[in-house]
Chains A and B, each alone.
Chain A
Amino acid sequence: MEKKGMKKIDRRTFLKYSGAGALAFSSGAMMNSFVRDAFAADRGLTIAYNADIPSWDAMNSVFPTAQSPWKCVFDQFTTQKQDLTIIPEIFSEYGYTDKAKLRFEAKIQKGVKFHNGDELTAEDVKFSFDRMKSEGMVLQFIWGAIEETKVTGKHSIRCKLSKPFPSMIAWLCFLGSYVYPKKYFDKVGLQGFLRKPIGSGPYSVAEHIKGSHLKLTAFEDYWRGPAKIKKSTFRFVTEPTSRVAEIESGSSDLTFEVPVEEFTRLGKNPNLKTVAQPVSDVVHFFVNDIEPMLDENVRLAATMAIDREAIVKYVLQDMGIPIYGLNCPEYAAYNPDLTIPYDPITAERLLAVSGYSKENPVKFTVQTTNGFVAKDFEVVQAVVGMWKKVGIDAKIEVYDIAKHFELRAADQLAPIAFYVWGNATGDPENSTGHTMFGPSPHSTWDTEDVDALIGPLLSEGDYKKRMQLYKSAEWYIVNHGMVIPLYQRKQPIVYKKNLRFKPYANNWILPYYMEWI
């Protein structure tokens, strides 16, 4: 019986709808199979990476995030192991050869070829050193210490320094220190090089679509032996949530810098592995030598009132390690004996000596970014809550990272400012040195006592003595509350379970050292 209002389905209607349904189903199935084929095809290795490279002039940039893709294409003078230990790369042997440490000599690895087949020689090294210190280069002020580089043989060079440069060895594997092919660069010029970069690294550039991806092909003549993964792609996915989707959907094989909450969830996925790698990023509060921070009681109270363990456990969900100095365990001048007790009672007492209490709190502004690094704003909120309990009333001011840099360079930061200081070299000059030495544009605390401790170390040639003195300087700085260390960051990395992957303390993601198992 036909229900009232219901349309009768005749043969023609049935056939029409059946045909449409079949067509929809078959095109859906066809599309699905096409897509599955596309996904199943051999992709080599795809990394969902958090930033594009700004340009192929790796030598003229201090952008730390781009080091991994650059290191795939270019070799450095030296390199680092996973734990930041410096080891040879293009320089097979190197060091100072005079007592004053003003003469640096290096032997160059033999049998190294550039991607175009040219042999890498001392001429290429000299060219790279000369270019790094030339006008217009962002690191000209650092490499300016090299007065002259001489080619002393096909595979050896000698540098004459105009002044002691104790951190030179560390800089040889740091930002901007790459070996370029002189002959090729001279032939094509800078613009030609930027369009078609050539290095001596384990991969050559197959395709780079800016803002989208970088495709790399293994360089079969690489001097350490060809990479096991022949094709690697860096896919530039700047949004953390999108990186999570990339790894979850199977579109990428590895990603990092994922949100903390997602990291825990992804760890439960049977197809994925996760690692929380401690990296060379130390999170701390810059302290400015302005009121009320000129009062040592206030500074020490501010540092003792912070429960670092609780912040790491509850705010960061264990994605960090509490830290009490400017150097983390991987750094050369790390001092494990340096600690700051969590002692709110003493903090309250110190504030009372200076006339402050919960009823009459000391007031200042604390500046922070919101979202520049994971949980930055939340950490500052938690700290402000802890301070409030002892008699510190801090007002949070949020700014973007560009403003932070501007204020820092002009020495106009608030009394307290949150920042993440990265030092991939592990050399204390690049942590304790430049964060605390007054004349540096990166320093916020500028007082003569600290400058007197650090200043001489910038030209101290004796490595052991230098490390010891940096430890002493750090001890003095922390125990006088001139900086407030918080925690060392852990890098959340997620990858396919059948990928063998080596995490680096300096945040490098290097396909050369990966393989499928």
Chain B
Amino acid sequence: MNLKYIIKRLLYIITTLFGVSIITFVILRVIPGNPIAMMLPPQATQQDIIELKAQYGLDKAIPIQYGIWLINVVQGDFGVSIHMKQDVMELVIERLPATLELVLAATAIALILGIFIGTLSIMKKDTFLDKLGSLMAVLGLAIPDFLWGLLFIIFFGVFWHVLPISGRIASTDTLINITGFFLVDSLIKFDFKGFYSVFLHLILPAFSLALPLTAIVIRVIKSSLLEVVKEDYILLARVKGLAERVVIFIHALRNALIPTTTIVGVQFGFLMGGTVLVEIIYSWPGLGKLAVTAIITRDLPLIQGVVLVLAFIFVIVNLIVDLLYTFINPKIRYG
């Protein structure tokens, strides 16, 4: 792995984050709605508004406000949430594991289902299974995640009462928060009842989020495999008399995974920022829900913090995906 390349990419990341911070900061101050107007008590006067603006530093010019904010951020101080009166980074870090746990679970489901169905469709080409796979891909793409979420809630929660439909854990269970990843925390504490509760709560939101991504993975895997199976080395493997499942799973799939990795990497970033509706529907206490509250209340420091963290995760995941290429296919080198 090329260290120079990694350093170059890290510098790009800093530049990207700087750009994101400027755009977010300016947009938030240009769009209508200001947090001071939203927190005014009935008896406040115009003088009170001026004083409150000064207390929150909103009376200064935008470039000065940005300068102060940036200096603080570089020192690790993202400010205090206007609505929640708490340290912004504390709030973001508190919510981040919930979103990450959900997105990781959704990505894992999408990968497992997508690769399995995509590969099966190729192995059983033009059969009923292939058509079923195609139908699933179409449905997965056509129906958005929040609609899956509502359907799951109606069927699994309201009609059949088999799975919980809100939150991360049952009201009766209490977990000791160690990492914020409840599945991990319950395992660390050997709390299997807690683990089971967390697992059940994760199923519906994770599937809702996973199905559209599954559809994408099915399509990418299918098209990649269709290309790969035409290669000479696959023909050779078949001539050698290897079983079809060995040819596909061992020889063809590895190369077909490269475009899938790219897609999943990019989609992971989108999922991080796209969990909002699923989090709201399932009352999932993640970053998406926090972002919505922050936007409604025009909590400027909190919005800036959430956006910056999401942007950071997005660029880091992209870097990791790029580095993964070299692992999956050693022929790829970065200079």
Contact = CB atoms under 8 A, between A and B. Distances in A.
Interface string A222-246: 0000000000010111110110011
B39 A406 contact: no
A440 B42 contact: yes
B162 A242 contact: no
B172 interface: yes
B158 A249 contact: yes
A237 B279 CA distance: 10
Interface residues of B, number: 60
A429 B42 CA distance: 9
A97 interface: no
Interface in A61-114: 61-63
Contact of B161 (A31, A139, A235, A250): A250
A138 interface: yes
B43 A440 contact: yes
Interface stretch (B227-235, B240-248, B288-296): B288-296
Nearest to B172: A41
Interface in B186-204: 196-197, 200
Nearest to B173: A38
A54 B168 contact: no
Interface string B11-48: 00000000000000000000011101111111111101
A442 B283 contact: no
Given A405-B33, A406-B37, A434-B42, A43 B172 contact: yes
A405 B38 contact: yes
Interface in A411-445: 429-430, 433-434, 439-442
Contacts of A408: 37
A4 B4 CA distance: 66
A249 B157 contact: yes
Contact of B162 (A31, A213, A237, A434): A31
B85 A401 contact: no
A46 B292 CA distance: 24
Interface stretch (A202-210, A278-286, A492-500): A202-210
Contacts of A246: 165-166
A188 interface: no
A139 B45 CA distance: 12
Nearest to A141: B48
Contacts of A15: none
Nearest to A238: B280
B282 interface: yes
A406 B158 contact: no
B175 to A, nearest CB: 9
Nearest to B196: A34
29 contacts: A32-B162, A34-B196, A38-B200, A43-B171, A46-B171, A60-B85, A61-B85, A141-B43, A209-B285, A210-B94, A212-B167, A235-B167, A238-B280, A241-B150, A241-B281, A242-B166, A242-B281, A242-B282, A245-B158, A249-B165, A250-B161, A402-B32, A402-B34, A402-B37, A402-B298, A405-B34, A406-B33, A434-B42, A441-B49
Q: Which 8 A-B pairs have the closest CB atoms?
A: A402-B33, A211-B285, A212-B285, A409-B37, A405-B37, A434-B42, A403-B32, A249-B157
